[in-house]
A = this chain, B = another copy of it.
Amino acid sequence: MKASRIRHGDESVMAPLNARRLRIHAVHEAVVFLRSDSPVGRAEGLGTQTRVTVRSGAREIIATLYQVDGEGLGLNEAGLSESAWHQLGLHDGDTVSIRHQRPLDSHSALRRRIFGHRLDDTSLGMVIGDIAAGRYSDVHIGSFLTACTTLPLDLDETCGLTRAMVDTGIRLDWPASMVLDKHCVGGLPGNRTTPLVVAIVAAHGLTIPKTSSRAITSPAGTADTMETLAPVNLPIADIRKVVEREGGCVVWGGSMQLSPADDVMIRVQRSLDLENDGQMVASILSKKVAAGATHLVVDIPVGPTAKVRSAPAADHLQGLLESVAGSFGIRAVILRTDGRQPVGRGIGPALEARDLLSILGNQRHAPADLRERSCRLAGILLEMGGKAAAGAGYETALRTLADGRAWKKFVAICEAQGGMTEPPVAPLRQVLRAPEAGRVCGIDNRRLARLAKLAGAPENASAGIDMHVRLDDAVEDDQPLCTIHAESKGELEYALAYAEGNPDIIAIDPL
């Protein structure tokens, strides 16, 4: 089949439009607005919510088109959302051209995966490459994530996905031959061990350049918590200086182009409140491979309402993590921990930061559970790094906290990252109390996390929950169980309404 094609110069098809910055914030997708009677829209056959290619000079982005009536926009203008404006590097007076998004070859791979066929490395590379380049709509990304959950990714696919994700970004390397790293699969509110582990390990002269994420489905990610104590959004050159000087850092990895496809997918995962093992392993390990890690400890909390709910589920995740890490030459040690209840007292960025400071400062009422977990994880890394004999890592870590070396190192890291700050305090609080005397017989991590999120965490750093009881504690009638912290009346109301509807988030077995 051949076409005696009439060639049009590119410009005749893509008449330029005057770009207009609309200062509309559309986080997930670039958005462009056109008059519904625009001659370009008509010539290109562009309807509302068409996916389009917007080009300016050599730069090109995919955006979603909305049509607008009336005088707000000129006939020869294209209105651009903030992310579209910045991605294209536009200035006032620039022009853009708009046409249909080209068909994506990777969509047929996506379609095969949706229908239950496995994808090979090449197909996964195409899908992930298009996702990283912003060519997928959120609906398509969500569909890919769902298909990989309903028919779980197998080992080959997880390796392929990890490699594809690494390939979309940059890879760091470090002068040290041994680069340590630490990860927690999450799901346990308040389990903020990372800053402590980094401080302890770096205090021994080991290299631990920790890049952390913000919350996906939790009320706080390590980067959210750390940000209440020091800047975490550093350019790579500055991170290198911090690590060179202090051996460790705790920074946000999201702006570093380490596995950038992961960041795009995480936004959609967040809106679907969805994670699966293969995706989780690829997300964790693609970041670690890209960050140049050689040795890794992974905390897997196990409990009925944690992310990993049973020993068999932990077995599956652990097997996948070890196999995939091994195939990338990373030595990974997995530590399973008690996931039945939150760790420490605070849930939410600033409240968790307060717990960290109390442990580093050896305060009398510092949460013992958070200290113990951090030292177990740090101990494994100290042993891997040859700073403690086998079996002696935990004690070494505890000593490093007790004698103030960890505190000194943590302050030095914060200063190197741009200066230590005081975590904010929420203006609004509300105590939730025991409805009767009894014993705390259950704490629902998931609904507790939801409660903290409804209160505004992590977007509002001071928002969250402060826990006053732990499992098996005896309580009096009306004794405070926890306190909701919020920055706005609307969010406090919203959290309270949820707490009223879920009185068993902290369950009391009556006397």
Q: Interface of A with B (CB < 8 Å)?
A: 1-6, 8, 12-13, 22-28, 31, 33, 36, 42-45, 47-49, 66-70, 72, 81-82, 99-100, 103, 107, 111, 113-116, 137-140, 142-143, 145-147, 149-151, 268, 271-274, 276, 430-435, 450, 454, 456, 459-460, 481-482, 487-491, 493-494, 496, 498-500, 502-508
Q: How far is the CA of A294 from the CA of B507 in the complex (A)?
A: 53
CB A116 to nearest CB in B, in angstroms, measures 5
Q: If A27-B48, A43-B489, A146-B114 touch, does A271 touch B494 (CB 8 Å cutoff)?
A: no
Q: How far is the CA of A1 from the CA of B506 in the complex (A)?
A: 6
Residue among A26, A276, A460, A505 having the largest count of chain B Cβ atoms under 10 Å: A26
A430 contact set on B, CB distance < 8 A: 3-6
Q: Is the CB of B146 within 8 A of A22?
A: no
A99 contact set on B, CB distance < 8 A: 490, 494
Q: How far is the CA of A146 from the CA of B9 in the complex (A)?
A: 40
CB A386 to nearest CB in B, in angstroms, measures 42
Q: If A49-B28, A139-B272 touch, does A150 touch B114 (CB 8 Å cutoff)?
A: yes
Q: How far is the CA of A100 from the CA of B497 in the complex (A)?
A: 12
CB A266 to nearest CB in B, in angstroms, measures 13
A500 contact set on B, CB distance < 8 A: 2-3, 5
Q: How far is the CA of A499 from the CA of B2 in the complex (A)?
A: 7
A491 contact set on B, CB distance < 8 A: 44-45
Copies, count: 2
A36 contact set on B, CB distance < 8 A: 25
A276 to chain B: closest residue by CB: B115
Q: How far is the CA of A209 from the CA of B295 in the complex (A)?
A: 69
A493 contact set on B, CB distance < 8 A: 8, 13
Q: If A1-B435, A139-B142 touch, does A115 touch B44 (CB 8 Å cutoff)?
A: no
Q: How far is the CA of A25 from the CA of B43 in the complex (A)?
A: 19
Q: Is the CB of B103 within 8 A of A450?
A: yes
Q: How far is the CA of A322 from the CA of B6 in the complex (A)?
A: 50
CB A131 to nearest CB in B, in angstroms, measures 14
Q: Is the CB of A100 within 8 A of B494?
A: yes
Q: Is the CB of A459 within 8 A of B490?
A: no
A432 contact set on B, CB distance < 8 A: 1-3
Q: Is the CB of A150 within 8 A of B139?
A: no
A450 contact set on B, CB distance < 8 A: 103
Q: How far is the CA of A500 from the CA of B3 in the complex (A)?
A: 7
Q: Is the CB of B2 within 8 A of A273?
A: no
Which listed residue (B4, B49, B137, B488) contacts A44, Cβ 8 A?
A: B488
Which listed residue (B49, B137, B487) contacts A27, Cβ 8 A?
A: B49
CB A96 to nearest CB in B, in angstroms, measures 15
Q: Is the CB of B116 within 8 A of A150?
A: yes
CB A261 to nearest CB in B, in angstroms, measures 17
